[in-house]
Amino acid sequence: MAKIRIAVLFGGVTKDHKVSLMSAYSLLNALSRDKYDVTPIGITKVGRWLYFPGSYEEIKTGKWEESSDCCSAIISPDRLHGGIITIMSDGTTAFKRIDVVISALHGKYGECGRIQGLLKLAKIPYLDCDPETAAYCMDKAMTHLILSAGGFDVPNYALMERSDMNIIDEKIAEIEKKLRYPVYVSASSCSSSIGANIVTDAAELKSAAKIAFSHHHTAVVEEDLTGRTIECAVMGGSYDIETTTLGEVVKRFDVNSAVAYTAEFTLDPELTDEQEDRIYDTARRVFRTLNFKGCARMSFRIAGDRVMLRRISAIPGFTPESAMMLLMKGSGYDYGEAIDRLVSIAIDGDV
């Protein structure tokens, strides 16, 4: 049987660059050479696309882009090519056909629909959702707007725009009428930890807004309810949805920080049957509502009688210690089997 030709994208120009390298390192080492013909494509911090044929250890350390064996590589949007164009230093080119792409590009430019749109245009199967779905999930404001309109329970929230800095005191007073401290402030269209802080008063909210605006023109201010954080992974397409076992994240934050924390992850947390049913039902309905394909990690908050959907990640971490992989392990997949399953979902997806 012919090997499946698979490209793994990693790196990128965002602050999630190092996280992406670790995801790619784990993915590449897990892909069986008996099953797959693997093409690693890295994007440097300044935006160069490079085919990297060297040791995966250099990806882990970040030295991969210094390799003399690298050459320029791009995904061709021409459907007749169906893959990668490599460009040597002397200007000669070559085509390499690709059966499926797995993107480990975390953050703003990897999860927001741009890469997904390119692959859709090239008609190359990939492990991810449609460009529109990716854009909705990356933008927290849009996610809350769509899901709340669909009747899903999401945290109470308010939005601040960069232009509001001209009337920041009035804007904060308006938010204080709607939300009680502490509140969680984050840049709308970035990874959840980028430009994010928990604040307890107006002065801290003003400072946190400035930090968020340095990453995006919109800041999301959410109620920061105490409660349990429950994770669920969902895979498949619109008509064939598979959910994993549930997991619980216990985070212990440093003071006034949504970034620095220690966390423990536990599989099969103690929940009532009603809570489990609500989480699984919500996860499946959200998957369908947003027209998901591929995989998603959903984060829920249980606070009193509420079971809220807080975050959706369309490109979850792929290290063995990441929540997505731990949830799949809890559902009976070892790491290699989990990657095989995700590859099969990507190939079966409609592009």
DSSP calls for 164-230: GGGGHHHHHHHHHHH-PSSEEEEETTS-TTTT-EEE-SHHHHHHHHHHHHTT-SEEEEEE---SEEE
Distances (CA, A) of 56 to 35, 39, 68, 92: 18, 12, 15, 26
pLDDT value for 257: 52
Q: Token digits for 183? A: 């509140």
- All CATH 3.30.1490.20 domain ranges of the chain, comma separated, are 157-223
Torsion of CA 315, 103, 262, 332, to 10 degrees: 70
Q: Are residues 48 and 72 in contact, defined by beta-carbon separation less than 8 angstroms?
A: yes
Report the chain's terminal Cα–Cα distance, integer Å.
24
- All CATH 3.40.50.20 domain ranges of the chain, comma separated, are 4-128
pLDDT value for 293: 85
pLDDT value for 314: 85
As to burial, measured by CB atoms within 10 angstroms (0-12 exposed, 13-18 middle, 19+ buried), residue 91 is exposed
pLDDT value for 248: 96
Distances (CA, A) of 239 to 258, 277, 285, 304, 312: 36, 19, 11, 32, 19
pLDDT value for 107: 83
Ramachandran region of residue 84, left (φ > 0), alpha (ψ -120 to 50) or beta?
Answer: beta
Closest CA to 104 of 336, 300, 295: 295
pLDDT value for 5: 96
Report how far residue 263's alpha carbon sits from residue 146's, in angstroms, rounded to the nearest whole number: 30
CB under 8 Å, gap of 24 or more: what pairs does 192-196 form?
A: 192/140, 192/311, 193/258, 193/259, 194/14, 194/15, 194/16, 194/107, 194/108, 195/219, 196/258, 196/259
Distances (CA, A) of 65 to 6, 58, 60, 335: 20, 8, 11, 27
Q: Which one-letter DSSP state was computed for residue 12?
A: -
4-128 is a CATH 3.40.50.1820 domain = no
Closest CA to 49 of 64, 30, 60, 37: 64
pLDDT value for 109: 84
pLDDT value for 316: 86
Report how far residue 157's alpha carbon sits from residue 168's, in angstroms, rounded to the nearest whole number: 17
Q: Are residues 154 and 147 in contact, defined by beta-carbon separation less than 8 angstroms?
A: yes
Give the CATH architecture of domain 157-223: 2-Layer Sandwich (3.30)
The CATH fold of domain 136-154+225-314: D-amino Acid Aminotransferase; Chain A, domain 1 (3.30.470)
Q: What pTM did the predictor assign?
A: 0.88
pLDDT value for 328: 95
| Residues constituting the chain | 351
Residues of the chain with pLDDT under 70: 192, 238, 252-262, 349-351
pLDDT value for 52: 96
Pairing of strands 100-103, 4-11: parallel
Task: Tell me what percent of the chain is helix, strand and coil, each rounded to the nearest 5.
Answer: 35, 30, 35
Q: Are residues 50 and 143 in contact, defined by beta-carbon separation less than 8 angstroms?
A: no
pLDDT value for 162: 94
